[in-house]
Amino acid sequence: MTAPRVWVGLRQHGVDGSEGFNWDYLAALWPLMRSSGNDWMATRPGLPAEHDRAAWHHIGAPLGLGYGFGHREATKRGVCMFGGRIRLPADIRLGNLVDELQEVAELLLTMAAQRPPRRQAKTTP
C-alpha cells in the first residue's frame, strides 16, 4: 500500500523557465516547515536542470527540500514549483487525515504570512 503524501512549497506562474525561481525564499521557509513536526521526506529530489541543482546546492538545502516541477514543466506549461513532501502513514484513518490536513492548512497560512527575503542585486565589476 502506498502512503499518501502532501506537497508544500512555492509555485510560480507565468514563467518560461525555472531559472528565476526564488530558492532563497524556499530556504527561508524551511525552518518554519521543519518545525511543524510533520514527517518530511528526506530523500534527495531529482532535479534534471543544472541551474536547479546549482540553486539547490547554493541554499544548502536539506535532502527533503526541492521536490516539485522545474524547468521542463515551466517551458511546457508556464509553471514551476519546488518544496517538500510530508509522508503520511499508509493506514491513516479518515479522521486522522482530516486532522493532518488541518495542520498543513495552518502551516500554509503561517508560510503565506512570511515575506520573501530581499534579493541581492547582481553587480558587475
Q: Tell me, yes or no, whether 30 lies in a domain.
A: yes
Q: Tell me, yes or no, whether 124 lies in a domain.
A: no
pLDDT in tens, 38-88: 889 999 899 999 999 999 999 998 888 999 999 999 999 999 999 999 999
Report if pTM > 0.75.
yes
Q: Left (φ > 0), alpha (ψ -120 to 50) or beta: where does 66 sit?
A: left
Range of the domain at 81: 5-112
Greatest extent of the chain over all pairs of C-alpha atoms, in Å? 59
Q: Tell me, yes or no, whether 123 lies in a domain.
A: no
Residues 11-30: b if buried by 16+ CB within 10 A, e if exposed: eeeebebbeebebbbbbbbb
Q: Tell me, yes or no, whether 27 lies in a domain.
A: yes
| Phi then psi dihedrals of residue 104, to 5 deg | -65, -40
pLDDT in tens, 81-125: 999 999 999 999 999 999 999 999 999 999 999 988 876 544 444
Q: Tell me, yes or no, whether 31 lies in a domain.
A: yes
Q: Tell me, yes or no, whether 117 lies in a domain.
A: no
Query: Considering its fold, how many domains does the chain have in total?
Result: 1
- The whole-angstrom separation of Cα 69 and Cα 80 is 5
